[in-house]
Amino acid sequence: MPPRAVDTRPRLAAYTVPAGTACQIKRLTTNDWQAYTTKAELSFERHEGYRGWRYEFRYLGWFIRVHANRVIHRADLYPPGV
């Protein structure tokens, strides 16, 4: 039996927000969005919403709203079939 091909690609989250990205944040219990710049790279497996070219993610008790152009998609790095 021939050996199986081993996938050596690093495992990436579905959505990644790089450090230094301008975004908006708010606590889950409030309605006031505040301007913020990410300090570290954030990774997410799913988004909570997509409104007006902006993704909304949930992270440690916060909603984070990021413009779609700033989000790195796993599918952009690894197109289907590759």
What's the burial of 25, exposed, middle or buried (CB within 10 Å: 0-12/13-18/19+)? Answer: middle
User: Residue 80's beta-bridge partner residues?
Assistant: none
Phi, psi angles (nearest 5°) of residue 76: -70, -35
Grade residue 12 by pLDDT with cuts at 50, 70 and 90.
Answer: confident
Assess whether pLDDT exceeds 60 at residue 9: yes
pTM score > 0.95 for this model?
Answer: no
Q: How many angstroms separate the CA atoms of 82 and 80, rounded?
A: 6
Element (H, E) at 66: strand 62-67
* pLDDT (mean) for 26-55: 94
Residue range 5-16: mean pLDDT, rounded: 76
